[in-house]
């Protein structure tokens, strides 16, 4: 068989990686070194040369996008569809294992997936049911605690009993959460991985089966794996499979969510006889950009070592702009973009990269003023939108009425007279009988625990769900969705809602019907389709696992704006890396420890290496962020770029007079306002009825002057000065 197409246009190292004899391999692939190409051709090589069966290959990625891209590149290469090959995300593959072996995994056949928003709500309910103070144990923290333990492979019974009350509370929440999730028959993201790991680890037959089956395991973005994913790969591999991982320790930027850079650093130790192959030739950026990026990243310690190079010349200098403030910075960038377009460049060749989302606003304002179309990455994706989740909650209840998260979400949406007090009684009944809210409805009815009106309303809700379930039976998926949206009253509810968001919501609900119509389960699933899954159940899993694109349609020639994190993997001819100030980038919260700072530096490295032709760095001498104006010290990352590679557009600290003065805060000056008499912030005052208190705020003037006083007995009150008759103490 002619396999030259697998090796065309590859450099020596790439070729070595593609054709390496079977053994464990670590491919250290620098930014822009053609790693996706190597990965897909490696798979082609295994099949066409090594005669590996498609069946024997497992390819794992982090994002659906990467998985889809890999599939799309492999199929034309082989010339036939690869349905039998397992290509997917960690979560997707884990999900498939659990669907196929739900019984061994101890899950109900129709288990559903909680996304992180669902999970947070559920954690919150658990905290409330334990009567713990949400101030002291915020749901977000508890969620982080639970997922953190799961990602280290720890169930609640593995956690050593803590001595301090704070952690005791968290552990108690974790325990209760485990029980609840079990009862509801739902599974969160971390649970997918943990359960799939336990399934293969603790079940000798399955373990042997999969270890025999997957002769070749390939992993993309290996530097982003967490402990659990690493353990999972190891148990699936056993000691026969060959593991081929591709990654770049210098691009590890997800340590804060559990990724262990040590995994890539220890690969050669843990996988016997592993050999490292480096891809250092870069096909993306100019020499100047690479030299700058190399210089910055060289300050990190413990690197596996790698230096990018190119044979395509130095290119233009890197520009450095010292702006007076964030407005000036944005205007400079917009002017540069206009010049780029005027000289024939496209807008979608330009990216503005920043450390945190809050920075996008100023750029948006200036771009709008200059009538330059743009697109901001991030924000809610399709299946995460409120109205979509509402509709999905109805569908989930049809599929599984034990799902309290879905029940709570829509029991009173649209409003049907089931208020918080009735719900609280319902929850109490559920707790008392350890049953779902669905069953608690019947319990309450039998024992007359609720007001007659609430009882009727709940009975009607239960009846509604039951009738939706009946009506949907046998209908094609999209008609089920359509029916539920209409008959549940959701559509009418959003149609009647006012505001500019409402219209988009109605549109989205209709879009959900189309999504259901276009949903083709076959595309998603291999020959070993899990038996007994309804199309609806598959659709719901799909919605949770693949939240969909940010927004469709707006792709045409727009300036691209995104955080440095979301820029990973992308490339643009012209890149603006903005906000290079100490405290902002590197971010304040990451500057304390060496590890955090090194991750910030890798982020800088990622940002710089996005640029193909021209890189522009900028910082502001003064910046207004979160309502406060503060002076900015140029980021250390600027100093780490060799000066000879940079060209200063406006030399730093040359003049001290800002062009744009920071706008004066429109604070009311209190000195010239006589309405408050001698009353001022922080003073103790006395009121005839409320007693003594301290002045918290002053507002308005003349007859409208109001004062906020925190009274010792009755707390905060707003009082009109004119009538309050306060006396100073």
Partner DNA sequence: TCTCTTACGTTTTTT
Partner DNA sequence: ACGTAAGAGA
What three-state secondary structure class fits 414?
coil
Binder of DNA out of 309, 467, 718, 728 (CB under 7 A) = 718
CA 300 to chain CA centroid, nearest Å:
26
CA distance 224 to 61: 10
Q: Which stretch binds DNA (CB under 7 A): 410-418, 475-483, 632-640, 687-695?
A: 410-418
Interaxial angle between packed helices 139-151 and 116-129, expressed in degrees from 0 to 180 and rounded to the nearest 10: 110
Q: In what order do the strands lie in the sheet with 715-720?
A: 715-720, 706-711, 691-699, 684-687, 727-728
What are the DSSP calls for 9-63, one per residue?
Answer: T--HHHHHHHHPPSS-EEEEE-TTS-HHHHHHHHHHHHHHTS---GGGEEEEESS
251 in catalytic set: yes
Could you tell me the two tokens for 581?
């100030």
**DSSP 8-class letter at 204:** H
647 in catalytic set: no
Within 66-95, the residues that bind DNA by CB under 7 A are 89, 91-92
221 in catalytic set: yes
Given the residues 220, 224, 248, 250, select the one marked as catalytic: 220
Binder of DNA out of 566, 673, 686, 701 (CB under 7 A) = 566
610 in catalytic set: yes
Q: Does 248 bind DNA (CB under 7 A)?
A: no
Could you tell me the two tokens for 61?
């990625």
Q: Rounded to the nearest whole angstrom, what is the least distance from the CB of residue 351 to DNA in the complex?
A: 13
207 in catalytic set: no
Distances from the Cα of 618 to the Cαs of 368, 615, 672, 681, in angstroms?
A: 21, 10, 41, 40
Q: Which stretch binds DNA (CB under 7 A): 70-78, 411-419, 476-484, 530-538?
A: 411-419
**DSSP 8-class letter at 662:** P
Q: Does 565 bind DNA (CB under 7 A)?
A: yes
What are the DSSP calls for 59-70, one per residue?
Answer: EEESSHHHHHHH
One symbol per residue from 655 to 694: x for binding DNA (CB under 7 A), - otherwise; what is it?
----------xx----------------------------
Q: Rounded to the nearest whole angstrom, what is the least distance from the CB of residue 63 to DNA in the complex?
A: 3
Burial of 448 (0-12, 13-18, 19+ CB in 10 A): exposed
Q: Does 419 bind DNA (CB under 7 A)?
A: yes
Cα dihedral 463→465→466→468 (10° resolution): 120
Nearest residue to 248 (alpha-carbon basis) of 302, 209, 305: 305
What do you get for the CA distance between the two ends of the chain, in Å? Answer: 96
405 in catalytic set: no
Q: Rounded to the nearest whole angstrom, what is the least distance from the CB of residue 384 to DNA in the complex?
A: 8
Given the residues 40, 225, 251, 359, select the one marked as catalytic: 251
Residue closer to DNA, measured from CB, 15 or 565: 565
CA distance 141 to 134: 10
- What is the total count of residues that contact DNA (CB under 7 A)? 45
Residue closer to DNA, measured from CB, 508 or 708: 708
Beta bridge partners of 123: none
Q: Which stretch binds DNA (CB under 7 A): 48-56, 306-314, 427-435, 619-627?
A: 619-627
Q: Does 36 bind DNA (CB under 7 A)?
A: no
Given the residues 221, 349, 408, 538, select the one marked as catalytic: 221
Could you tell me the two tokens for 626?
């979160």
Q: Which stretch binds DNA (CB under 7 A): 38-46, 198-206, 561-569, 654-662?
A: 561-569
Within 350-389, the residues that bind DNA by CB under 7 A are 355-358, 378
CA distance 139 to 131: 13
Within 470-499, the residues that bind DNA by CB under 7 A are none
Q: Which stretch binds DNA (CB under 7 A): 295-303, 339-347, 409-417, 474-482?
A: 409-417
Given the residues 16, 19, 36, 211, select the one marked as catalytic: 36
CA distance 539 to 484: 14
Given the residues 25, 35, 409, 505, select the one marked as catalytic: 35
Residue closer to DNA, measured from CB, 9 or 116: 116
Binder of DNA out of 546, 581, 598, 621 (CB under 7 A) = 546
Q: Does 136 bind DNA (CB under 7 A)?
A: no
Binder of DNA out of 137, 189, 244, 332 (CB under 7 A) = 189
Within 693-712, the residues that bind DNA by CB under 7 A are 708
- The two beta strands, 628-631 and 622-625, are antiparallel
- The two beta strands, 25-29 and 242-247, are parallel
Q: Rounded to the nearest whole angstrom, what is the least distance from the CB of residue 718 to DNA in the complex?
A: 5
Within 147-176, the residues that bind DNA by CB under 7 A are none
Q: Does 230 bind DNA (CB under 7 A)?
A: no
CA distance 707 to 656: 40
Interaxial angle between packed helices 386-399 and 452-472, expressed in degrees from 0 to 180 and rounded to the nearest 10: 80
What are the DSSP calls for 547-592, one per residue?
Answer: ---S-SSTTTT-EEEEEHHHHTT--EEEEEE---BTBBTTBGGGSS
One symbol per residue from 254 to 273: x for binding DNA (CB under 7 A), - otherwise; what is it?
--xx----------------
Q: Rounded to the nearest whole angstrom, what is the least distance from the CB of residue 239 to DNA in the complex?
A: 28
Binder of DNA out of 587, 650, 683, 687 (CB under 7 A) = 587
Q: Rounded to the nearest whole angstrom, what is the least distance from the CB of residue 332 to DNA in the complex?
A: 22
Q: In what order do the strands lie in the sheet with 86-89?
A: 86-89, 57-61, 216-219, 242-247, 25-29, 275-279
Q: Does 195 bind DNA (CB under 7 A)?
A: no
> Which residues lie near DNA (CB under 7 A)?
62-65, 89, 91-92, 115-116, 134, 138, 189, 253, 256-257, 355-358, 378, 412, 415-420, 545-547, 562-563, 565-566, 587, 589-590, 624, 626-627, 665-666, 708, 716, 718
Catalytic residues: 35-36, 220-221, 251, 610
């Amino acid at each position: 068989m002619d396999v030259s197409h697998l090796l065309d246009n590859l450099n020596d190292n790439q070729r070595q990686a593609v054709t390496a004899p079977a053994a464990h391999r670590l491919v250290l692939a620098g930014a822009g070194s053609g790693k996706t190409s190597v990965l897909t051709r490696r798979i082609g090589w295994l099949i066409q040369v090594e005669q590996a069966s498609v069946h024997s290959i497992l390819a794992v990625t982090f994002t659906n996008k990467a998985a889809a891209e890999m599939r799309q590149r492999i199929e034309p290469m082989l010339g036939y569809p690869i349905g039998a090959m397992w290509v997917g995300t960690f979560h997707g593959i884990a999900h498939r294992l659990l669907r196929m072996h739900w019984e061994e995994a101890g899950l109900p056949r129709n288990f559903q997936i909680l996304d992180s928003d669902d999970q947070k709500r559920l954690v919150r309910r658990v905290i409330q049911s334990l009567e713990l103070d949400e101030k002291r144990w915020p749901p977000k923290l508890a969620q982080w605690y639970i997922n953190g333990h799961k990602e280290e492979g720890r169930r609640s019974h593995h956690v050593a009993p803590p001595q301090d009350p704070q952690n005791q509370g968290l552990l108690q929440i974790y325990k209760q959460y485990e029980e609840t999730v079990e009862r509801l028959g739902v599974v969160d993201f971390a649970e997918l991985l943990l359960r799939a790991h336990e399934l293969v680890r603790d079940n000798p037959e399955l373990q042997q089966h999969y270890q025999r089956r997957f002769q070749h395991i390939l992993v993309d973005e290996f530097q982003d794996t967490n402990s659990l994913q690493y353990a999972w790969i190891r148990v699936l591999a056993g000691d026969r499979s060959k593991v081929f991982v591709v990654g770049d320790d210098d691009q590890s930027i997800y340590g804060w969510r559990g990724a262990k850079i040590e995994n890539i650093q220890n690969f050669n130790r843990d996988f016997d006889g592993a050999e490292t192959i480096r891809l250092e030739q870069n096909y993306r950026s100019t020499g100047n950009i690479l030299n700058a990026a190399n210089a910055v990243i060289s300050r990190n310690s413990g690197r596996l070592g790698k230096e990018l190079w190119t044979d395509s010349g130095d290119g233009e200098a890197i520009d450095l702009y010292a702006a007076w403030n964030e407005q000036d910075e944005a205007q400079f960038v917009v002017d540069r973009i206009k010049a780029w377009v005027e000289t024939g460049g496209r807008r979608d060749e330009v990216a503005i990269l920043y450390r945190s989302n809050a920075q996008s606003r100023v750029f948006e304002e200036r771009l709008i003023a200059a009538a330059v179309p743009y697109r901001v990455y991030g924000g809610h994706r399709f299946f995460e939108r409120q109205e979509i989740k509402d509709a999905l909650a109805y569908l989930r209840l049809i599929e599984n009425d034990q799902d309290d998260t879905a029940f709570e979400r829509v029991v009173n949406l649209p409003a049907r007279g089931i208020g918080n007090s009735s719900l609280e009684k319902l929850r109490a009944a559920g707790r008392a009988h350890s049953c779902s809210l669905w069953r608690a409805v019947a319990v309450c009815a039998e024992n007359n625990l609720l007001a007659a009106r609430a009882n009727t309303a709940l009975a009607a809700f239960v009846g509604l769900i039951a009738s939706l379930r009946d009506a949907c039976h046998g209908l094609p998926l999209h008609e089920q969705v359509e029916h539920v949206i209409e008959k549940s009253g959701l559509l009418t509810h959003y149609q009647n809602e006012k505001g500019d968001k409402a219209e988009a919501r109605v549109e989205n609900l209709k879009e959900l019907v189309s999504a259901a119509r276009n949903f083709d389960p076959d595309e998603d699933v291999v020959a070993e389709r899990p038996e007994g899954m309804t199309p609806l159940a598959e659709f719901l899993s799909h919605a949770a696992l693949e939240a969909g694109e940010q927004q469709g349609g707006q792709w045409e020639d727009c300036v691209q704006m995104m955080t440095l994190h979301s820029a990973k993997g992308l490339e643009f001819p012209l890149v603006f890396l903005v906000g290079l100030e100490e405290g902002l980038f590197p971010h304040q919260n990451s500057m304390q420890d060496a590890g955090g700072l090194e991750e910030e530096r890798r982020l800088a490295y990622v940002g710089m290496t996005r640029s193909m032709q021209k890189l522009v760095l900028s910082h502001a001498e003064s910046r207004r962020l979160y309502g406060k104006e503060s002076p900015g010290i140029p980021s250390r990352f600027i100093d780490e770029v060799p000066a000879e590679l940079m060209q200063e557009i406006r030399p730093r600290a040359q003049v001290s007079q800002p062009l744009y003065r920071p706008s004066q805060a429109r604070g009311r000056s209190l000195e010239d306002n006589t309405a408050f008499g001698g009353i001022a912030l922080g003073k103790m005052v006395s009121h005839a009825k409320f007693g003594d208190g301290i002045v918290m705020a002053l507002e308005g003037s003349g007859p409208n002057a109001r004062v906020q006083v925190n009274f010792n007995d009755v707390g905060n009150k707003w009082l009109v000065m004119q009538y309050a008759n306060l006396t100073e103490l």
